[in-house]
Amino acid sequence: MTIGVLGGGQLGRMLGLAGLPLGFSFVFLDPAEDAPAAIAGEVIRAPWDDAEALATLAAKCDVITWEFENVPEAAARRLAEARPVFPPPESLAVSQDRLLEKQHFARLGIPTPPFAAVATEAEVQAALGTIGLPALLKTRRMGYDGRGQRVLRDAADAGPAVAALGGVPLLLERFVPFERELSVVAARGRDGETAAWPVIENHHGGGILRLSLAPAPRLAEERRTRAEGWARMLLESFGYVGVLALELFETAEGLLANEMAPRVHNSGHWTIEGARTSQFENHVRAVAGLPLGDTAPCGVSAMVNLIGTLPPAGALQGVPGLHLHVYGKSPRPGRKLGHATLCAGSLAEILRLLDRLPPIAGLPHPAHG
Ligand code: AMP
């Protein structure tokens, strides 16, 4: 079976690396030069809306998926006329618009920070009355890794923030003083079976994920069950097939949903070595119509993103239990170039191993001593 993938970045590369041993072949479509996924299959280099390239992809593949959430929904729908496309394109449309996404959460009864759709400074001023300060103003579309958002500490910040985000539909959200960020990564098979990996604790810097710990330390059982339940509700709501991630804030009062990603997720990279079945293998299994594999963790894992520059060759491999993944991308500030996963028997051991890492740009020190 040949699996077509919209997007040929590192997520495509890791999907391919998980699917090749299972006997699958891959064809990727990506507009970029030097797609990291090229080591795992053929790459069709073309823009997302290139009808001929989409037709070629459909002709070469039995089933199609994506690894990049800003793929135009129209491209996924066009492919769906020719071949089965998983996950359902509707999940792409919802996740690409922060308003539709929050409304979808609200319909399912999944709590979020209070939000309001706005476009002009006057609308922001009016909405601040119910949302309160501080608040975050975000573009509804094309925002990720903290891009396309401004903090409003004062009503006077509204004008400059609207001007900076530039004439596009916006979402105003209450700024949540969260204790930590969490995510749940879960999968649903074609037969409706679902599975979730343990809830993950995430540390960001400059709007980019830097470190994930799994299972999330000291998470109350009731919150863990709730987070997993929300991920399953989302999967069911779309009749989803494949892997999905839900990002959460943990506050003193409980959990709030921030956003979802209808794809394999950076906070789930630790599952390659740290779980019985990785998110990449289960995504491949799901779209291919195979039973899902066991998502149980093998001990405790930490995943460290390597951003902007890579440590010198060999600098990381001296740390016991470390697995290095390099994506084959040229260095650039803020670019995800690779990741390292540490696996151990306990959180204490993971924290000791993290202390043994050479200096890694932007790596926070998790306060779990
Ligand atoms: P997003 O692009 O919506 O995932 O936001 C990027 C990051 O901004 C999140 O990972 C949080 O660290 C922060 N953030 C987003 N929304 C809020 C909020 N309502 N309150 C506080 N921080 C937020």
Ligand 1 contacts CB of residue 143 (under 6 A)? yes
Mean per-residue pLDDT of the chain = 95
Ligand 1 contacts CB of residue 101 (under 6 A)? no
Diameter of the chain measured on Cα atoms: 59
- Cα(153) to centroid(ligand 1), Å: 15
User: Is there a contact between 256 and 113 (Cβ–Cβ < 8 Å)?
Assistant: yes
Q: What percent of the chain has pLDDT over 70?
A: 98
Distance of alpha carbon 189 from alpha carbon 243, whole angstroms: 9
pLDDT digits (tens, 9 = 90+) for 86-135: 999 999 999 999 999 999 999 999 999 999 999 999 999 999 999 999 99
pLDDT-derived band at 207, boundaries 50, 70, 90: confident
- Cα(269) to centroid(ligand 1), Å: 21
Ligand 1 contacts CB of residue 175 (under 6 A)? yes
| Residue partners of 276: CB distance under 8 A and separation at least 6 | 293, 294, 295, 296, 297, 298
pLDDT-derived band at 366, boundaries 50, 70, 90: confident
Distance of alpha carbon 288 from alpha carbon 44, whole angstroms: 21
Distance of alpha carbon 153 from alpha carbon 84, whole angstroms: 47
pLDDT for res 144: 57
pLDDT for res 360: 85
pLDDT at 145 over 60: no
- Cα(217) to centroid(ligand 1), Å: 21
